Amino acid sequence: MNKGIKLDLSKVAPYVQEKEIMNMQSDISIAHNMIENKNGRGNDQLGWVDLPVYYDENEFRRIKIAAQKIREKSDALIIIGIGGSYLGARAAIEMLSHSFNNILPKDKRRNLAVFYAGNNMSSTYMYDLIHIVEEMNLSINVISKSGTTTEPAVAFRIFKKLLERKYGKEETRNRIYVTTDSKKGVLREIADREGYETFTIPDDVGGRYSVLTAVGLLPIAASGIDIDEMIRGAGDARLECRIEDLQKNPAYQYAAVRNILYKKEKIIEMIVNFEPCLHYFGEWWKQLFAESQGKDNKGIFPASVDFSTDLHSMGQYIQQGLRIMFETFINVEKPRREIFIEKDNENVDGINFLDGKSIDFINHQAFKGTVLAHNKGNVPVIVLNVPELTAYYFGYMVYFFEKSCGIGGYLMGINPFDQPGVETYKKNMFAFLGKPGYEYKKKELEGILD
């Protein structure tokens, strides 16, 4: 892979032979052409494929200007959104920022504090968030295609009123940024009426594929991350991941191996990291694959673990539980910061054998030991080696997994770009809440509950 990112399939060799992978070339070619020629199912949602090259340059400039205004005006940014409307941005911000950015003293914090709302319906979380930010200078980026999704709609109403009480309506207009549909929807109407600056969610890009649009780029840029580098990384990934030849395209190899393992009843995939800052990258990855491939009673169940932490809770099951899973490790080769172990003359803890070694060195030995242990325990292991965690590599990984996910969905024979199943719970919730138009549903549900 370009710039030193490498897909290592050596630890799936006992379970997937190279010949099996290469035998998938014809199926890969069919899926490749459906995406590149935009003639497969869900082809109206393929705008993400060429985003790293054919993006709206004017809006990209406006994003950077707005991000600078947010940083100048505010101590904190509240990102209001759920699912694909916030997970990509949170993945980038947590991956590339100081681990404790929000609690750093202002004079030591390079970036503004970032908080998240509208991604749950916990009254306790909302109360505590208001309590922590009410004395700060605030800006809001609310992200929703329609503006009617319950969680972000509730959060926006609350924080909009908070800002209006704090600053007045006129100044609030300069602190609320709306990312929504270009022409229609409740949020678009509110933004036009109130005079908020708006950014567009493209019609042909679904939420889980939207991190490289204004959905992700505005909050990411506001947090101080270089979005030019991010787009450059995604652009390089696009070039490598659009090669039809399976032998030369790591994204297609990943999709092919997943498909083969799935047919061999490996129905759970865990994305694994050894860096806590990658936790939300795992959350973004889970949504990408769950919503794209979990349908028609098909799909690999995507899970995530943070090692070495979860080795002390999940490790036993992974090692000796049901043999229905495989793992994909993200191995970061170079840490952003380093710290070394010093010798202790008393050596009560017995770890003087680590004298002079770095914590990252120890972390990598844990990584290697875990790969070998799980592999010996009959768990196929895929490794994605990433040189370091930068905006460039974030963009690269995002595109790599998006392309793999789309190709993999077509290999499974499903439409990887819709999500019809997520509407069912919403209809039930609206009925119980008494939303107008759902009275029929409430009677039906009450009958079932009785």
Q: Is 443 a catalytic residue?
A: no
Q: Is 291 a catalytic residue?
A: yes
Given 426, 435, 441, 442, the catalytic residue: 426
How many Å from the N-terminal Cα to the C-terminal Cα in the chain?
Answer: 58
Euclidean distance between CA atoms 223 and 114, whole angstroms: 7
Query: Among the options 197, 275, 283, 291, which is catalytic?
Result: 291
d(CA 177, CA 162): 15
CA atoms within 13 Å, Cβ hemisphere of 109: 18
> What is the distance between the alpha carbons of residues 341 and 38, in angstroms, rounded to a whole number?
54
**Active site residue ranges:** 291, 426
